[in-house]
Amino acid sequence: MSEGQRDPLERELETLGPLMRDQDAFAAMEPDPEFVRTLRARLTGAPAPRRAVAARPRKHPLRRWMMAAGGLATLAAAAVVLLLLLGRSSTPSTHQVAFRVPTPDRNAVLRAYPVVGLGGGSSPPWSSNLDVPPGIPFAGSIHFPGVGPSRGPSSAPAFALQGPHFDVPRLRSLARALGIRGPVRYRSFNGDRFAYVVNQSSPSAAHSLAISLVTGKLIYHDTRSTGSGSAFARVTPAAIAAARRWIARLGWPASNPVFHPVSPNEQDAGSFAVQFGWTGAIPADLPAAVIVMNAAGRVIDAQLYPPVARRQSVSVRSAAVAWQQVRRGRVPLAVLGLPPQPTQVGRGVLRHTSVLALLTSGQHGRLYLVPAYHFSGDATFASGRQRWYAIIPAAR
């Protein structure tokens, strides 16, 4: 049957089908009740309702992935951001509607803590190998007899990330640019919903691109082959440049500094990861982008969060007050070089106080970078001297 002879109803269903699908999906998403109440009060001139502040648990699944022990040290190193940096990073626009800064939950904090005993595994398009699960805090305790930090700043920057509108509309063109050809499909997974494309020409091997419709996080897999050759037998500036070109090609900001120097992936000696920090934000607990490449220089795995959209200053409690929480044992501690168990008691010294940003889910799964104090130093245990750190949300 030619196009002109086709049933008009069928043609209309084909045209409007995707819109009906989206209507069906989005109709179930109720607006934030606080937004509805506040707007109503504004429109009718009634007194504004009291604002409820509630942390929303992070929705994301936390995939199993081996974090190299060396990565812990680099994490701590990356967290050392002097307070002097506050307010001086290149900033996104501040001339936008203020956003509600969410409170990081325990899992958001513990993602910056040591992780042990993780495994990889095959990954469907909507599941990232590069998500970092919450770590395990030290089960022992540290006594801090010395003096604490000074009061510190009264405010710190928080950042709202772009939502899924940043990349979801481009899913098809992004997939095409990466050589992935197939229909756009949808899948719900662990409270998130993904649009994804899998290459149909290689159904037995995963070559896929998925974007979260909730957060905008992009997940890329290419396991068609492990590749060969020695383009980047070891980490080189050329490898970093190649990773930078890859994310720039997809439309992500690529001028940001490398988060970690490239670290080899211990799961597969033939691959390595390049991690990029956040453009327009202070250093964070997690990289903005992780690009895993094989020895031939081909990207085989990637995870990219949407870029920073907005920045605003938030009032923070003093560093001295936050430090008291650490001293009293009310904040999880990380001790490098010691297993979390069994318990040990040490005597510690605070060496550095800095502020870093914690990646945190806000209302409706939208992602934010919110400020947290990062205290670090060394401690003496019966087994020797070790480095420790503690992270505590800073916003009041």
Partner 1 sequence: MYPEADPALIQRARLDRSAFGEIYDLYVRRIYAFCLTHTRDRDEAEDVTAQTFERALNAIGRYEERGVPLSSWLLQIAARLMINQGKQASRITLLGSDPVPEPEGNHSSDDDPQVVVERWERAEWLRSRIAALPSDQRRAVQLRYWQGFSIPEVAAQVGRNEGATRQLLHRAMTSLRARIGNHDV
Query: Which residues in this chain contact partner 1 in the complex, by CB under 8 A?
Result: 7-10, 12-24, 26-27, 29-32, 35-36, 39-40, 42-46, 97, 99, 160, 163-165, 168-173, 183-186, 195, 213, 363-364, 366
Burial of 121 (0-12, 13-18, 19+ CB in 10 A): exposed
Q: Which is nearer to partner 1, 5 or 15 (CB)?
A: 15
Place of tokens 């958001």: 108
CB of 292 to partner 1, least distance (A): 25
CB of 255 to partner 1, least distance (A): 20
CB of 152 to partner 1, least distance (A): 30
Burial of 305 (0-12, 13-18, 19+ CB in 10 A): buried
CB of 12 to partner 1, least distance (A): 6
User: Which amino acid is residue 87, in one-letter code?
Assistant: G
CB of 71 to partner 1, least distance (A): 33
CB of 170 to partner 1, least distance (A): 7
Q: Which is nearer to partner 1, 49 or 261 (CB)?
A: 49
Burial annotation 227-261 (CB, 10 A radius, 16+ → b, else e): beeebbeebeeebbebbbebbeebebebebeebbe
Q: Which is nearer to partner 1, 260 or 366 (CB)?
A: 366
Q: Closest Cα partner for 58 from 107, 131, 112?
A: 107
Q: Which is nearer to partner 1, 30 or 122 (CB)?
A: 30
CB of 373 to partner 1, least distance (A): 27
CB of 122 to partner 1, least distance (A): 21
Q: Closest Cα partner for 252 from 303, 213, 206, 297?
A: 303
Q: Closest Cα partner for 343 from 140, 142, 114, 136?
A: 140
Are 278 and 369 spatial neighbours (Cβ–Cβ below 8 Å)? yes
Structure tokens at 49: 């309702």
Q: Which is nearer to partner 1, 171 or 281 (CB)?
A: 171
CB of 44 to partner 1, least distance (A): 4
Q: Which is nearer to partner 1, 9 or 52 (CB)?
A: 9
Q: Which is nearer to partner 1, 115 or 161 (CB)?
A: 161
Classify the C-alpha dihedral 18-20-22-24 as positive or negative.
negative
Are 114 and 135 spatial neighbours (Cβ–Cβ below 8 Å)? yes
Q: Which is nearer to partner 1, 46 or 241 (CB)?
A: 46
CB of 161 to partner 1, least distance (A): 11
Q: Which is nearer to partner 1, 2 or 93 (CB)?
A: 93
Are 322 and 197 spatial neighbours (Cβ–Cβ below 8 Å)? no
Q: Cα dist. 282→266, 278, 299, 337, 385 in Å?
A: 28, 7, 27, 27, 30
Are 170 and 184 spatial neighbours (Cβ–Cβ below 8 Å)? no
Give the angle 65-71-77 at the CA atoms, nearest 5°. Answer: 145
Q: Cα dist. 243→36, 161, 216, 218 in Å?
A: 43, 22, 20, 15
Residues 19, 25: Cα–Cα separation, whole Å: 10
Q: Which is nearer to partner 1, 164 or 348 (CB)?
A: 164
Residues 146, 327: Cα–Cα separation, whole Å: 10
Residues 195, 207: Cα–Cα separation, whole Å: 14
